Amino acid sequence: MIVIARLTVRELVRRRVVWVLAGLTILSVALVAWGLDRLVSLARDDGTTELQIRIGVSQVLILIAFMFSFVLAMTAAFVGAPAIGGDLESGVALAILARPLRRVEVLLGRWLGSAAVVVAYTASSGLLAIAVATQISGYGPPDPFLAILFLSGQALVLLTLTLALGSVLPSIAAGAIAVVAFGLGWMAGVLAGVAAAFGVELLGRVAEVSRWIFPSDGLWRGVIYGLEPPLVLLLANGNAPRFADANPFYATTPPAIPFVAWSMIWIGLVLGVAGWWFERRDL
Amino acid sequence: MSSPAIELDGITKTYGRTTALDGLNLRVGRGELVGLLGPNGAGKTTAIKLVLGLVHPTRGSGRVLGAPLGDRAARARIGYLPELFRYQTWLRAREVLILHAELAGMAPGGRPSAADEALDRVGLTERAGDPVSGFSKGMQQRLGLGVALLGQPDLILLDEPTSALDPIGRTHVRAIVRAARDRGATVILNSHLLTEVERVCDRVVILHRGRTIAAGPLDEVVAADGVRLRVSNLDAAGNAALARFGPVSVDGEWHSIRPLDASRIPEVVAGIVAAGGRVHAVEPGPGSLEARFLELVTEPSEEIR
């Protein structure tokens, strides 16, 4: 398994995926820095108070994180889909799987190597953007590490689904399904909030179940919670928390521990089912 | 006595409605160099993949190197060149071999020397540091052969090992395959190039529609007694008369009857003449592997083992 994980990281480095991600990180952080600097400068020139600026920056950061979560979903899909599926389609897998190793070892090794790269990208890019934003605006989110942790979790959910699908489906289909699932998961999260706000019980239940089936959106709430300033939470909780939760860019509470535990179990289960299927598949 | 290298007993493999193997029986002894032949879709590649556990039988059972099909410990002693050979194009040739040495479970200290030995054997020493992406198809096939020979495996499965090679490369592969057999390895050579098989193999196994239709030492399979006749003016009744002597295959004016006892050849000629046909040439005796192969796969055959 470790051999395959190392091979995967080496592949992503040699095929310039890591360098492209590093380049994108620098570019995106530079754009964030420039944009925030302009916004903060204009606001200060306008006489906006520091408190207002900090709240504004916090919301911009959440929007940037949302964009970044989408980029991460795409990255996870592009890295995960061909990890097994591509090797099967090209024939590279035949020589590897004829060696004395279990197919599930190949699957887990591919997952581990891809996960290492995706998490490293998430952490470096995310923390760098937050550090730059803090330096420019003076506002630092309450728990950037928690936000990055949940952002990484979300990316791992996407990676797991894509890689698992790639072991039984053509890689292009696996990638497409995972991206659609990401979108649907986010929609389900929005609908769950709306249903809760307006008391639509059935819709709420369906949306809640789908959130557990694909825990991507639930983890996204953890990202927002880590970035949301306490003042905004205080105001939202004081007024109408039900309505605040209907907004996909607000989270008044962090994801519950059972949900976080379930997300980890979900990753294990999906890999387990994929491994079971992959072992029995004819190549 | 050691167990056979490969034993397949009544293996059937179906993919949906398609039957790739239909009760296949196959036995390959240790140290044999066996040619696995058959037309497209005969089940040769499926049979090789079954041995490696890459596909699972629908029915039947088998053993490889004394262990169940696909056994991991057995796979450590098998070298395999797939028909669709592709290796990591972003690795260098030597890195591919070191990777496979590691995957095969070789000790870290022995991997570089095993890789260099394999590169030398397939004539790629000078290209050891080059990325695989720059390799021609023939060079990639050589590399695949090196991967299959890595660590001196007990069983070597080569699926179309010369399909991308030039005549020099084919000669080289013949020498490599013979050397492997000489050191005691069992080699299965799956090839469409019958002349290649004829030159190196001790035994041949011919598959057709997922079944073994002929198996044995090369001279026995090829040497089924028979006759080849050049005949003209033969009508339907004449053809029917010929078919009474045995299975007939026709190639233009040439008619082959095999198997046929040599003592019956005058009777065949008399039969053709009596039916109004004219006999221009009579060639008794065994044909080439190609002729025998064509006869076997173009006629309904009983399994002979």
Minimum distance, in Å, between the CA of residue A138 and any CA atom of chain B? 45
CATH superfamily placement of domain B6-217: P-loop containing nucleotide triphosphate hydrolases (3.40.50.300)
Predicted pLDDT at B156: 96
Predicted pLDDT at A66: 87
Minimum distance, in Å, between the CA of residue B75 and any CA atom of chain A? 5
Confidence grade of residue B305 (pLDDT, cut at 50, 70, 90): very low
Distance (Å, rounded) from C-alpha A62 to C-alpha B113? Answer: 55
pLDDT per residue as tens digits for the range B205-234: 999 999 998 888 887 887 667 888 999 988
Predicted pLDDT at A149: 95
- Nearest residue to B84 (alpha-carbon basis) of B193, B170, B159: B159
Q: Which residues of B touch A91 (CB under 8 A)?
A: 82, 84-86
Minimum distance, in Å, between the CA of residue B277 and any CA atom of chain A? 53
Residue B279 has pLDDT above 80, yes or no: yes
Predicted pLDDT at B143: 95
Predicted pLDDT at A138: 83
**For B52, which of A11, A91, A98 is closest by C-beta distance?**
A98
Predicted pLDDT at B300: 47
B residues 144-163 lying closer than 8 A (beta carbon) to A: 144, 147
Dig out the tokens for B50 from the structure.
């079954």
- Residue that wins the pLDDT comparison between B46 and B199: B46
Q: Which residues of B touch A88 (CB under 8 A)?
A: none
Q: What are the backbone dihedrals phi and psi of residue B135, each rounded to the nearest 5 degrees, phi first?
A: -80, 145
Sign of CA dihedral A219, A220, A226, A232: negative
Can you tell me which residue has the tokens 């209907």? A246
Predicted pLDDT at B302: 41
Q: CB of A154 within 8 A of CB of A74?
A: no
Distance (Å, rounded) from C-alpha B69 to C-alpha A202? Answer: 52
**Interchain contact, A98 vs B104, CB within 8 Å:** no
Confidence grade of residue B301 (pLDDT, cut at 50, 70, 90): very low
> Hey, is A97 helix, strand or coil?
helix
Dig out the tokens for A123 from the structure.
């952490």
Helix axes A216-227, A201-213, angle to 10 degrees: 90
Confidence grade of residue B290 (pLDDT, cut at 50, 70, 90): confident
Residues of chain A falling short of pLDDT 70: 231-248
Confidence grade of residue B198 (pLDDT, cut at 50, 70, 90): confident
pLDDT per residue as tens digits for the range B113-142: 999 999 999 999 999 999 999 999 999 999
Mean pLDDT computed over B1-24: 90
What single string gives the DSSP state of each residue in chain B? -PPPSEEEEEEEEEETTEEEEEEEEEEE-TT-EEEEE-STTSSHHHHHHHHHTSS--SEEEEEETTEETT-HHHHTTEEEE-SS----TTSBHHHHHHHHHHHTT--GGGHHHHHHHHHHHTT-GGGTTSBGGG--HHHHHHHHHHHHHTT--SEEEEESTTTT--HHHHHHHHHHHHHHHHTT-EEEEE-S-HHHHHHH-SEEEEEETTEEEEEEEHHHHHT---EEEEEES--HHHHHHHHTTS-EEEETTEEEE-S--GGGHHHHHHHHHHTT-EEEEEEES---HHHHHHHHHTS------
CATH number of B225-285: 3.30.70.100
In chain A, where are the structural domains located?
2-280
Dig out the tokens for B256 from the structure.
């082959």
Radius of gyration of chain B (CA): 22
Distance (Å, rounded) from C-alpha B150 to C-alpha B80? Answer: 10
Quick one: which H or E segment has residue A2?
helix A2-14
**Interchain contact, A95 vs B144, CB within 8 Å:** yes
- The number of beta carbons lying within 10 Å of the beta carbon of residue B84 is 13
Distance (Å, rounded) from C-alpha A41 to C-alpha A39? Answer: 6
* Partner B contacted by A14 (CB < 8 A): yes
Minimum distance, in Å, between the CA of residue B147 and any CA atom of chain A? 9
Q: Average pLDDT, whole number, for chain B? A: 89
- Residue that wins the pLDDT comparison between B50 and B246: B50
ipTM score assigned to the predicted complex = 0.82
Distance (Å, rounded) from C-alpha A52 to C-alpha B173? Answer: 77
Distance (Å, rounded) from C-alpha A127 to C-alpha A158? Answer: 20
Q: Do the bridges between strand B227-232 and strand B248-251 make them parallel or antiparallel, or are there none, so unpaired?
A: unpaired
- Residue that wins the pLDDT comparison between B146 and B235: B146
Interface test with B, best of A99, A102, A279, A283 (most B CBs within 10 A): A99
| Residue A164 DSSP code | H
In chain B, where are the structural domains located?
6-217, 225-285
From A106-115, B51-60, B276-285, the region with the lowest mean pLDDT: B276-285
pLDDT per residue as tens digits for the range A49-99: 888 888 888 888 888 888 888 888 888 998 998 899 888 988 899 999 999
Q: CB of B247 within 8 A of CB of B255?
A: no
Sign of CA dihedral B102, B105, B108, B111: negative
